[in-house]
Structure 1
Amino acid sequence: MIKPFLFLLVCLAGPGALRAQPTPKKPLDHTVYDQWQSVGRQRISNNGKYVLFEVKPQQGDGTLYLKTVAGRALRQVSRGDSALFTADAKFAVFAIKPRYQDVRQAKIKKKKPDQMPKDSLGVFALGPGQLTKYADVKSFRLAEEASVLAFLASKPAVKDSLKKAPADTVKKITDRLLQTNKEGAQLTVLNLLTGRRRTFGAVTDYQVSKPGNKVAFAVAAPKGNKDPEIKSGLFVYDLAANSVRQVSAGKGVYKNLAFDDAGQQLAFTAEKHPEKALVKPFSLYYSDFRGDSARLVLGPGGAGLKKGWSPSGFGKVLFSDNGEKLFFGTAADPIPQDTTLVDFETAKLDVWNYKDDYLQPMQLKTLKKDLQRNYLAVAYPRQGNKFVQLEDEYLRDSFTAEKNNAEYVLAVTDTAKRVSMQWEGTTLKQAYLVSTRTGERIAINPKAAKSRFQLSPLGRYVVWYDYASKNWFSFAVATRKTTNLTAKTGVAMADEENDSPDDAQPYGIAAWAKDDAALLVHDRYDLWKIDPKTGAATNFTGGLGRRGKLIFRYRMAAEKQKFVEPKEDLMLLVQDETTKQWGYYKKNLASAGAPQRLALGPYGYSPLMQAKNADVYIYTKANVAQPADLYASRDFQHETKLSSINAQQKDYNWFTAELTHWTTPKGYAATGVLYKPENFDPAKKYPMVVYFYEKLSDGLYKYTAPAPTPSRLDIALFASNGYLVFTPDISYTIGEPGPSAVEFVNSGVEALKKNAWVDGAHVGIQGQSWGGYQVAYLITQTNMYAAAWAGAPVVNMTSAYGGIRWESGMSRQFQYEHTQSRIGGTLWEKPEAYIRNSPLFALPKVQTPVVIMSNDADGAVPWYQGIEMFTDLRRLGKPVWLLQYNGEAHNLVKRENRKDISIRELQFFDHYLKGAPAPVWLEKGVPAVEKGRNWGLEASTK
């Protein structure tokens, strides 16, 4: 029975008081990461009726979903990957990955690559809903315009024609095919509409024509081959005639197989030299299938080639759209290796020379690329063996128009201007038009300048942004006239908020109209429609962007053509600069009216993917509380939700996000984002961690899943576990990167501390790379932080200035003089600024416990910077720890290391901001003799 006093309380509380109370939501922990999902690869069929998308956990097996655009489920395939629709929207083709656990076990057993679990191939017929699978597939290719599929199997299968043969005969032939697999594999060509299938053994490379009428493939017959059906050479299978012809005979290496758009011409490079030859130059071959064999277009030492040059096996072979031109690469023959040299008696060194175009570390980083470097040339196979060399050592970077029938290619060079990259970070460039008919070179800018060039889709104009004048220009090929396109717009075309000692970056070109009639150019807010011939410009968005602080951007869907049709509706991605909300507006290219608002709200949107032949779009939409699910829509007013990921989120204490504003001591208006636990109670006090990197407030509506961090703060994990997380935007004063962080970060923290629910005595800071530097600087300027975590920090700008960014091989000088570090001068010009902004020289002031992550394979920040910080603070008797992940980069790559640092980071802040027991690694460390046996993650007993 209910006691009288309790009964009275129940009555006063109301009739619902005895109902079961909801179970409190769990805080996120380190065991939840793997199950969190994201929508991966997504495609919409050309007719806009079908959608496919992949849902992948962070670790484990994903699932491929096939649905109608209205959301009706057709099929889901475990581990489906790399999926595509056929052009006629009748089939979906995809790889099926091995089970994650099978791959894991194979790695544990240290199996060789050829013994690892293999992919399968899936073909799903969308009409009847039938799924067909093929085992052990290495690769597949789908005809761009037809339902023709070709795939290479790791283990050759028996040909269809042998299925009814006696068992012993089948076995003998199967054994013979397996023998060919030592140098090739089995190619299957399948017409998905008719079911006709052909298989070919010992194939090393293959290509499918765009209309799917032909498949070219190279065969390498193995040693001891006695099968008369397997011959080394290059073959073409004609699907309509169901016939095979050999277009090139003999052993060798066949590469760069290329059809023209109609599938009526084939070109390729090949070398057929003896195996022991020291130099094996390639030749270029061509066939129009009228003769028995492909003919030689150009061989080593051919007419018109430089002495010692040949067609390159590394250059891409490509026909022009009309099939008249054949683009390919040429290169100097490689220097033969001296086989008389003995390795252990040969000096090994790098010679640095001040006259080198590129520093030796840059040369070593690009060594593979440089060994494969080739120079564009063009041949006219229907005009005999005529060819024109377009590039050379001076002019080595060129670009063809989207419609590459154009007479000219655009070539850009920085030859003799490369040394200054060491301190400028970029080079001055000159641009030329090069005639594909004669090789004539027309200079666009007679004097090298800092510019960014591009060729219009039809090749009628060269357009570039000039950093000196801050304007866009055009060069008309027909008239050779240069026109300033943006001088009369009256607005800046480059970053209005640039706070680096470098030229402001342009907002960029959005798209071209058909026939090169106009181009769309972004300013800070709006788009401008500009005639490249005259420079006549109109504000395409009618100034709505600047008036309403709406940032309009247009990105053409990859599935569409490379230009905008004259009366096409453009879907414009928009962000409200004030509220940070995202959405889409629509405007027709020919319209003079204002853009039509379709959607704008508290969400973030992905770029649209549009059906090629229908006005149907798919996209992801998300905010802090709503995962990035996939949607389909025609107008954004009516949308179909296609995926539903992370249902488990409802069981966990999630978080909210809100903009916060304050005024800095110098009077600057400042903005940041404050993340709170979902169960936030204003009557309680919360510890706070401050995380920063340049400006992060545009991500207010970004969905952030809990994940083992490569280096950053896991906002979801910390907020779920009862922390406030604050991400202030920082604007910089040139020459004062450190004081700028103090101005914005500290003032933002002080503003938030005025709230009773902020535990001002327990505030921590975390940053990585540039943020890590600022953490190191901030703790030398104030003791207001109870704990700090600095990932890959620079603490000594004087020593870092002359270092190398090993991931690129570039000198670090440009970074300090022109870009992120923002000093704005050399070390000898502004030594006081380098010292003043270097935390190292103020380390005696530090009172904050700090953990440093500094990895020994960091390619961006020299890891000795972390060592300098650690050893100096250690000498000063300050509480400091250094985490050095072996063989790891600037940001952690290996998932096991990401999980480890996520655990340590939460342990560290829990100890100093919440009073949790210190783990062993904080209290006692992990001696080298215990490495790999003891990680020190358990609570210390002292």
Structure 2
Amino acid sequence: MKYILIGLLALFSFEWAYAQKPAIDTAGINCWTRVDNPAISNNGKFAVYNIVNQPYKSNTLVVKAVAGGAEQRFIGGESAIFTQDSRKLICKKGDSLLILTLGKFAVETITKVSSFELLLNRKVEQLLYLQTDAEHTLSLRDSQSGKTQKYTGIELYTLSKDRKVLLLKTTDRALKVLELASSKIATYRDVDTYQLSENGQVMLLQRKDALNAGITITRVDRLTGQQQEIWSGESLLKTVMDWTGKQLAFESENQQKQKNIWQYQHGMKKAEILLLSNQLEPDEALVLGYQPKFSEDGRLLFCSIIQKQSSKAADGDCVQVDVWSYTDVLLQSQQLSSLKKKEDEQRTEAMLDIRTKKLNRLINAGEQCFKLPGHFWSVTRSNGGNFGTEYNWNKDAIPEYFVIDTRTGLRKPVPTMPSFYSSPDGHYVLLWGISDGMSFHSYELASGKVVNLTGKLPVPLGDASEDRPANENSRGFQFGLWLTNHTALIYDRYDIWKIDVSGAEAPVSLTHDYGRKNNITFRLASDKKDQKIDLKKPLLLSAFNNATKDNGFYQLNLSKSKDPELLSMGPYVFMAGYAEGSKNNGGMPPLKARDAQVWLVERSSTAAAPNLFITRDFKRFSAISDVHPEQAYNWLSSELINFKTLDGKNEQGVLYRPENFDPEKKYPIIFYYYEKLSGSKNNFWAPGLSQATLNIPWYVSRGYLVFTPDIHYKIGEPMKSAYNRIVGAAKHLMGLPFVEAKRMGLQGHSWGGFETNYVVTHSHLFAAACSGAGEVNFVSGYGGLRAVRTGDKPYAGEGSNQFFYENHQTRMGSSLWERPDQYIENSPVFNADKVTTPLLIMHNKNDGAVNFAQGMEWFTALRRMGKKAWLLQYDGEDHFLSSSEKNILDFTHRMDQFFDHYLKGAPAPIWMTRGISASRKGLDTGYEYDTEIKTPGPGLNTPEDQKKIDEYSKIPFVDKLKRLTEKQ
């Protein structure tokens, strides 16, 4: 027997013969370059960016003049910063600091620099850098005078929060505190660690006592210079100061591992231990917690109460059995998982009144909290702890929401959870989703007043195009930013609204409903939530046309009360991460020069990699970078296709063709899908190996067409919805002269794997299909447990899958017992006998999203039915391949060989014709082409059994179920 050896060094060699550019290969992927880390000088005259992976595994820093295009390149350059006056650019190259004079492109090099930053001292910029020379020199250079202050023996440095004080830790354990404004310096000896209060006026110095093997804490008042030793002990774990440094708390531990919390207030001679045992349960202890802090007024210390681990051993004579009860608020699996958590995870948040030493719990068991502005905290309570998954039916999982005033300890119920969006003055927070779950409300913290901000807006339910049961009525509102203490901008699916959170003024559509009328989605071009907006000046808007998928910019002039003015739109991606169906590259917000009307933008398209452009009006764009690795390969183009689904609906999808496309030829085509992808029509898809999903450039470059249909769903019929669209798209494209109708394939992973499994049980159109980690049995899947990883341990079932099916992505909208017909109809496994398409399955035992049992159930069903099917299971891998590059390479190669055989007529490899025995795992790949068996043959069934299968596979599944009703 002769085999044709296909080595990985000659990976993926079977392809159409191209006369022009080569197909993408692994070498091209490894050497792929891209633009990153762009910036523009304040005067708008210079730009800087990195070219990643040029040269290979390094990068090149490019500094370029906007006018004229003069540039300078630094291989290995990084961390570039323009000076405030736009005269210089500072960057690192290895251990050297480069100072480039802009315009002249003169370069000064300072060697052995470990770190640097720019400071603003009395309106004069200073360059700070630390060297690893023999003297460990820290230098502070004045940008105006050029004078340099040098300090030797410096090990590391930190800046105060206000950047006015520089703390220098020396190699001989001294701490030097430098006042940047006055250049005064104070030195403290034998300091190991230090901490500075937020206002910069108080320091804590920790010193190790070598003689007694202990630690001391010294408090330093920087205003008076007074030093005071306030504590000594064996081990210090954590310290926290209030804003002024007048009081602090810290946690200590002795050799017996006993922990104590200490407190110090200005004026005390020594820190005092906090004795609160009478306020705690016997199995509880008080600790500072993850992020201890004082309240703004310094009256409260926020800390944690932990539950001590029981030292009582389980009775060896007692039976070890899990007793599952229908009255369990939490499933036994969840309870057991909770018990396995570490001690420091068994905690509740608390607040300690420093004056009265009274301890109050912020939250109790089953509650979560987060800080709101001022004296307020948000608390969510659910008796079941499953408010994220069982709130639709479990009375104990229905959440309750409260706001706590820490000054009084009182809880006020609120209709829903407060968001993180609080007004600049802290008087208001926004609430999301009251009653209908689809409106913004404001909550005034002081009074508890709730105002519906969006209830009367002319935005219909379901406007967000969200077809999952949990939020199918979503109106698509999103927060934009705060304008003032009482006004904010919010978005609906199309337009931008100004709202008064006090409710005194009615909401106003700033875009005059232009977006809704023209099917355009508007967003502010800058995505910074803390930016200051002046509505008297024109606003720059990013725009996405939902019909054509074009992206660009509009201008909104509110003083003229006109519709948004078009600046430019085109088949590009500038900034479109907010678009429906947009994946991968969302672009970037424009970067404006601080002192000039000049912007640096990123632009890309399907055919052109992301590059940087300069614009002054968003109508004309001049290229600043020219990084086009795709031009060396047979790349791709995209076309938006409108088609009819099998049930007569209008739908869209994107057809990708190779650069050397010849309309006179016929091409194999692969349909790839996941929810909606048409918003990515103009995305630049970076090439890569397949971690689970099909990489579009890889396959198109190698002579395939790829089509990505959008899938809109009907609740209760998710698989039929997908079938109607995928097969509807296939029938539409079969009518094109360049599509080879007999060589059409399918590829989908996860939710797309669900859909692939269903389509091959209901259609005979496709010559090959690859399904990754998809479910096949909605009945068994519904009754299973969601997987949760604990640390590095494999996934183990914990919470119920039922929510995922009823309300989430599976979109059933009902329980199994309410509509068993729909659960069965949506389950591919019940129609395994009807499959005629060869199927490659990839599903791993450690999959934390879809249980491996589903993949095994599918494979064994197909095997029993005599169908051509292969299951790839990678040890140690999860839902996607990520732990091993060789696994990713292997899956890419096998999927290539699979599709090449069935869609291009390439020889079949041995792993497909003969398999690989378990004894040869890790030894043989089976990549070699089989010269004897030209194509995989029939399954293991006897002729008689296979004939019987072929006969009953012709009977519709619904007719088989009639036997059930006939018996009743």
TM-score, shorter chain, exceeding 0.5: yes
| 1:732 counterpart SS class | coil
Equivalent-residue separation in structure 2 for 1:36 and 1:928 (angstroms): 37
Provide the residue aligned with 2:908 in structure 1. 918
Q: Check conservation: 1:471, 1:493, Cα contact below 8 A.
A: no
Cα distance, 1:464 vs. partner?
Answer: 1.9
- Describe the shift of the 1:873–1:622 C-alpha distance in structure 2 as closer, same or farther (beyond 3 A): same
Q: Distance in 2 between matches of 1:143 and 1:628?
A: 33
1:806-817 map, 5 Å: 806-807=787-788, 809-817=798-806
Q: Indicate conservation of the 8 Å contact 2:262/2:274, yes or no.
A: yes
Q: Is it true that 1:502 corresponds to 2:470 in the alignment?
A: yes
- The 10-residue stretch of structure 1 (672-681 or 796-805) with the greater mean CA deviation from structure 2: 796-805
- One-letter identity of the residue aligned with 2:308: I
Amino acid at match of 2:644: T
Q: State whether structure 2 residue 270 is matched by structure 1 residue 280.
A: no
Structure 2 counterpart of 1:28, from 15, 18, 24:
24
Deviation at 1:259, TM superposition (A): 7.4
Q: What is the distance in 2 between the residues matched to 1:256 and 1:66?
A: 44
Matched, 1:265 2:234: no
1:392 matched to 2:363: yes
Distance 1:829 1:536, change over 3 A: same
The offset of 1:716, in angstroms, is 0.2
Post-superposition shift, 1:249?
4.4
Q: Which runs of 5+ in 2 are unaligned?
A: 1-17, 139-153, 156-170, 575-586, 790-797, 933-968
Is 1:460 matched up with 2:450? no
Which residue is equivalent to 2:407? 437
From 721, 736, 754, the equivalent of 2:735 is 754
1:764 to partner: Cα distance? 0.5
d(CA) in 2 for partners of 1:362, 1:562: 45
Shift of 1:714: 0.8
Residues 684-736 of structure 1: per-residue CA shift (max 9 Å, x gap): 00000110111100000111011112211111011111111010111112111
What is the CA distance between 1:451 and its match in structure 2? Answer: 8.6
SS in 1 for 2:690: coil
CA 1:408 to 1:721, structure 2 compared with 1: closer, same or farther past 3 Å? same
Tell me which amino acid in the other structure corresponds to 2:866. Answer: G
CA contact (8 A) 1:208 1:215 kept: yes
Aligned to 1:696: 677
- Residues 280 and 923 from structure 1, CA distance in 2 versus in 1: closer, same or farther, beyond 3 angstroms? farther
Cα distance, 1:584 vs structure 2: 2.7
Tell me the distance in 2 between the aligned counterparts of 1:414 and 1:219. 46
Q: In 1, Cα distance between the equivalents of 2:511 and 2:264? A: 51
Tell me which of 813, 816, 821 is aligned to 1:824: 813
Structure 1 stretch displaced more, 33-42 or 835-844: 33-42
8 Å contact from structure 2 (residues 782, 816) kept in 1: yes
CA distance, structure 1, for counterparts of residue 255 and residue 752 of structure 2: 54
| Secondary structure of the structure 1 residue equivalent to 2:508 | strand
Q: 1:208: Cα distance to partner?
A: 7.2
Aligned-residue offset at 1:483: 2.2
**Residue 364 to residue 84, structure 1, CA distance change in 2 (3 Å):** farther
* Structure 1 Cα separation of the partners of residues 544 and 137 of structure 2: 57
Superposed CA RMSD in Å reads: 4.8
Q: Which residue of 2 aligns with 1:626?
A: 608
Distance 2:431 2:480 in 1: 14
Deviates more, 1:576-585 or 1:771-780: 576-585
Matched residue, 1:524: 493
Q: Given residue 391 of structure 1, which amino acid in structure 2 is its aligned partner? A: L
Separation (CA, whole Å) in 2 of partners of 1:47 and 1:300: 60
State the Cα distance separating 1:778 from its structure 2 match. Answer: 0.6
CA offset at residue 919 of structure 1? 1.9
In the aligned structure 1, how far is the partner of 2:187 from the partner of 2:929? Answer: 62
Matches within 5 A, 1:879-918: 879-894=868-883, 895-918=885-908
Q: CA shift at 1:510, angstroms?
A: 2.5
Measured in 2, the distance between the counterparts of 1:847 and 1:607 equals 46
In the other structure, the counterpart of 1:166 is: none
Match of 1:481 in 2: 449
Aligned-partner Cα distance in 2 for 1:363–1:619 = 52
CA distance in 1, matches of 2:820, 2:872: 31
**Distance change >3 Å, CA 293–CA 574, structure 1 → 2:** farther
Q: Deviations over 1:444-495 (max 9, x none)?
A: 23xxx69968543433223223354333222334554332222322213654
SS in 1 for 2:618: coil
Asked whether the 8 Å contact 1:609–1:617 carries over to 2, the reply is: yes
CA distance in structure 2 between the aligned counterparts of 1:479 and 1:706, rounded to whole angstroms: 55
Contact 1:804 1:812 in 2 (8 A): yes
Q: Which segment drifts farther, 813-822 or 584-593?
A: 584-593
Quote the residue 1:301 is aligned against: 276
Q: What is the rounded CA distance, in whole Å, between the counterparts of 1:652 and 1:878 in structure 2?
A: 38
Moved more, 25-34 or 907-916: 25-34
Answer yes or no: is the 8 Å Cα contact 1:300–1:308 preserved in 2. Answer: no
CA separation of 1:59 and 1:933: change in aligned 2, threshold 3 A: farther
Shift in alpha-carbon separation, 1:940–1:237, aligned structure 2, 3 A: farther
CA 1:719–1:841 in 2, change beyond 3 Å: closer, same or farther? Answer: same
Q: Which residue of 2 aligns with 1:104?
A: none
Structure 1 residues 494 and 875, CA, compared in 2 at 3 Å: closer, same or farther?
closer
Secondary structure at 2:259 match in 1 = coil
Indicate conservation of the 8 Å contact 2:238/2:252, yes or no.
no
Is it true that 1:544 corresponds to 2:525 in the alignment?
Answer: no
Aligned partner of 1:364 in structure 2 is: 337
Conserved 8 A contact 1:840-1:869: yes
- Between the aligned partners of 1:248 and 1:87, the Cα distance in structure 2 is 45
Question: How many angstroms does 1:865 deviate by?
Answer: 0.8
Distance 1:649 1:416, change over 3 A: closer
> Which of 920-929 and 304-313 deviates more?
304-313
Point out the more displaced range, 250-259 or 828-837. Answer: 250-259
Secondary structure at the counterpart of residue 31 of structure 1: helix
Residue identity opposite 2:520 in structure 1: L
SS in 2 for 1:816: helix
Matches of 1:304 and 1:45 in 2, distance apart?
A: 59
Name the CA distance, whole Å, in 2 between partners of 1:93 and 1:247. Answer: 43
Classify the secondary structure of the residue corresponding to 2:755.
helix
How much does 1:918 deviate? 1.5
For residue 503 of structure 1, what is the amino acid of its counterpart?
A: N
C-alpha distance in structure 2 between counterparts of 1:205 and 1:556, whole Å: 40
Shift of 1:31: 2.7
- Show the counterpart of 1:471: 439
Q: Give the AA of the match of 1:840.
A: V
Q: Distance in 1 between matches of 2:673 and 2:435?
A: 32
Question: Is 1:804 the equivalent of 2:785?
Answer: yes
- Percent identity for Structure 1 against Structure 2: 30
Does structure 1 retain, via aligned residues, the 8 Å contact 2:606–2:638? yes
- The amino acid across from 1:482 in the alignment is V
2:641 paired residue number? 660
